[in-house]
């Protein structure tokens, strides 16, 4: 009797072609799910007969309430090595092994720069005007050369964003709770005296912190009001680092010039969400990690995780 494996949230229908799932065919039947399911009742019903589930990052949370409704589940594979939407303790208590996959650090910095450049050169309104026979040139672009890029976080992603900023001739500064002048210097950037100083002096502020107790809600009304009215905020990290209501107010009231956003507290973004309509926001549907090379790594490792689990030697265990 073969085991059953569900691959969830395969939005692009790409999972089947980006890994060699045939390596499992003797022991596992694999089924791809392309549509996202928000309703836990329907999700539990659809997945109750599966022993293995592969999930894509935080698209579908696996809290204790869902896990306890999946008595057959033995292996949960999440892409990436960190997933705050999976209750690892509840999974362990239920005898469910949770494994992760490798990922590539380059895609998110690339998208970060796509958002910065899109905002600076007003690419969306200029593109829309061109396609609709609107005005030929209606905006003035914001120069990057000589402007200040402020990075909240200088880890794997932030340091890559910094290098591009330096290549554009920007003045780059960074701040995080544990960042030292020595570490900032190694990346070729300045250490900001404080988060407040970084916000007050930067023309572009880009968020690259890990979500945790200290970073949740880090940017609220007081912090956003410190930013220049000509400044832009970019968030390709985690939505809860920025207080949602404060950001909406900042954008509507003109405390800042605009924002580039790739992450949201609820995904997919509801059809009536205000971020879909604000004119000074450049939004993308959490594309930071969504590239062919990254998906090949994710799904290739997922197959490897399953094979290792079946052999009794799980790899990349998270619980």
Residues identified as active-site: 238, 267, 286
Residues 6+ apart with CB under 8 A from 156: 105
CA distances from 48 to 5, 41, 44, 150, 229 (A): 11, 11, 6, 47, 52
Token pair for residue 58?
Answer: 């935080």
CA distances from 137 to 129, 141, 236, 281 (A): 8, 10, 29, 19
- Three-state secondary-structure class, residue 239: helix
Respond yes or no on whether the N-terminal peptide bond of residue 268 is cis (omega within 30° of 0).
yes
Token pair for residue 228?
Answer: 């220049």
Give the C-alpha separation, 150 to 195, whole Å.
Answer: 9
Give the C-alpha separation, 148 to 65, whole Å.
Answer: 46
Q: Considering only CA atoms, which of 218, 234, 15 is closest in space to residue 112?
A: 234
Token pair for residue 2?
Answer: 């073969």
Unique residue bearing structure tokens 């949770």: 98
User: For residue 36, with 0-12 CB atoms within 10 Å meaning exposed, 13-18 middle and 19 or more buried, which class applies?
Assistant: middle
């Amino acid at each position: 009797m073969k085991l059953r494996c569900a691959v969830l949230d395969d939005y692009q229908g790409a999972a089947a072609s980006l890994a060699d799932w045939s390596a499992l065919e003797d022991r596992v039947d694999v089924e791809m799910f392309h549509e996202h399911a928000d309703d836990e009742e329907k999700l539990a019903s659809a997945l109750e007969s599966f022993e293995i589930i592969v999930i894509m990052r935080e698209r579908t949370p696996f809290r204790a309430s869902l896990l306890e409704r999946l008595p057959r589940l033995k292996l949960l594979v999440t892409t990436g090595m960190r997933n705050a939407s999976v209750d690892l303790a509840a999974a362990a208590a239920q005898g469910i092994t949770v494994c992760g996959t490798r990922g590539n650090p380059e895609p998110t910095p690339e998208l970060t720069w796509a958002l910065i450049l899109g905002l600076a050169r007003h690419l969306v309104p200029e593109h829309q005007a061109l396609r609709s026979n609107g005005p030929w040139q209606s905006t003035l672009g914001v120069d990057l050369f000589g402007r200040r890029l402020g990075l909240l976080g200088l880890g794997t992603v932030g340091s890559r964003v910094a290098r591009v900023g330096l290549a554009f001739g920007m003045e780059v500064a960074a701040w995080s709770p544990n960042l030292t002048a020595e570490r900032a210097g190694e990346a070729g950037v300045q250490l900001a005296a404080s988060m407040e100083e970084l916000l007050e002096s930067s023309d572009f502020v880009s968020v690259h912190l890990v979500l945790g107790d200290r970073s949740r809600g880090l940017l609220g009304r007081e912090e956003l009001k410190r930013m220049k009215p000509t400044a832009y905020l970019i968030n390709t990290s985690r939505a809860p680092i920025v207080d949602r209501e404060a950001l909406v107010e900042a954008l509507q009231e003109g405390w800042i010039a605009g924002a580039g956003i790739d992450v949201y507290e609820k995904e997919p973004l509801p059809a009536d969400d205000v971020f879909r309509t604000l004119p000074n926001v450049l939004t993308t549907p959490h594309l930071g990690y969504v590239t062919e090379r990254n998906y090949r790594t994710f799904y290739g490792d997922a197959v490897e995780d399953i094979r290792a689990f079946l052999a009794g030697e799980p790899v990349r265990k998270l619980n």
